Structures are given as C-alpha cells and as structure tokens.
Amino acid sequence: MPEITEVDEGPTALNALGDALAQAGAKSISGQREELAAGLLKASLKQWEDPAVRPQLLADLTAAITDEAGAERMRAFMSAQSSQIFSQLGKALGLSQSLDIHEVAEILKVPPLNINAAQAQVWGMVILRYILRLDPISTASSEEIVELLAPTIQRYLVD
C-alpha cells in the first residue's frame, strides 16, 4: 500500500484544486452558464498540468483508491458540507454558509447524481491521462480534452 504524503502547513494540492474549481464555478454560475463545464475543466487541467501540484494530487488520488482514510478525505473534498470545492464555491458566490452537493445541485437545478456524473468524467480522464498515461488521451492537449469532454459535462450540470 502506498504511503500517504502529508502536508504539514500551507495550501495542499486539493486546496489549490478546490480553489480553482470554486472560482471557475462561481464565475460561470453568476455569469455565462454555457461556459460552466469548460471553465471547470480548464481550471482542473491547469492544476493537474502544474508540475509543482501534480505529485501531491497523484498521491491524494492514489490514497483515495488504496486506503480508507484517503477515500474519506476525497469524499469530504468532493461532496460533504465541509467540502473544499463546495464551501469555497459558497464563498466565491458571496454566500455566508458552506454548501454541500445537494445545495449546489439546487443552485444548478440538477439532481445531485448529475454532479457525481460530471466528477466521474473528470476523474476518469485524470486516471487515464496521469496515472495510466494511456495514449492518445495522455498526449492530447488540454484544449483537446476540454473540447471533447465539456459538452458531456455541460449536459450534466446545466438544466
């Protein structure tokens, strides 16, 4: 079982990813909803493409797949009221309370399952691109990935 890398202080890679996704989501929700999926994908890929951030993101993902404590951290990151993504989204939208996956689904006017489906698309791409390094998705440009996946993710997130 891989050892889980801990970060003692400062922002973690998941925090950086959560911040980027929250900012992209808030910008699209309060502005151009038709750009929601593309904005989220671009923000995610920017973090994954950053050589300073990717090793920690890979460690967090590996821990989530191989270790129950890692899986719990990833569940909390992705859906709980204390979720990095959704609490930061609430702040970015100017709300005083933290949001959870159900409240975000209400804002988007989609079922919570649709949010999970969008997450599955992104995390599946991440596994193929950065862990398995499966060609051609591993060698495609970020722009090609956005162009390919954004329409499907958009369908999940915009009613």
Model confidence pLDDT, tens digit, residues 2-54: 333 343 333 488 888 888 888 888 888 877 778 899 999 999 999 999 999 99
Least confident of 6-10, 42-46, 61-65, 154-158: 6-10
* Average pLDDT value over all residues in the chain: 85
- In this predicted structure, the answer to whether residue 102 has a pLDDT above a threshold of 70 is yes
- Residue 10, pLDDT score: 37
* Single-letter code of the amino acid located at 141: S
Asked if residues 135 and 27 have their Cβ atoms less than 8 Å apart, the reply is no
- In this predicted structure, the answer to whether residue 97 has a pLDDT above a threshold of 50 is yes
Local structure of residue 80 (DSSP, 8 states) = S
pLDDT (average), residues 131-144? 97
Q: Which residues of 62-86 are buried (b: 16+ CB within 10 A; e: fewer)?
A: bbbeebeebeebbeebbbbeebbbb
This prediction's pTM: 0.84
Rounded Cα distance between 58 and 73, Å, is 14
* Single-letter code of the amino acid located at 8: D
Most confident of 28-37, 105-114, 130-139: 130-139
Extract the tokens encoding 22.
């929250």
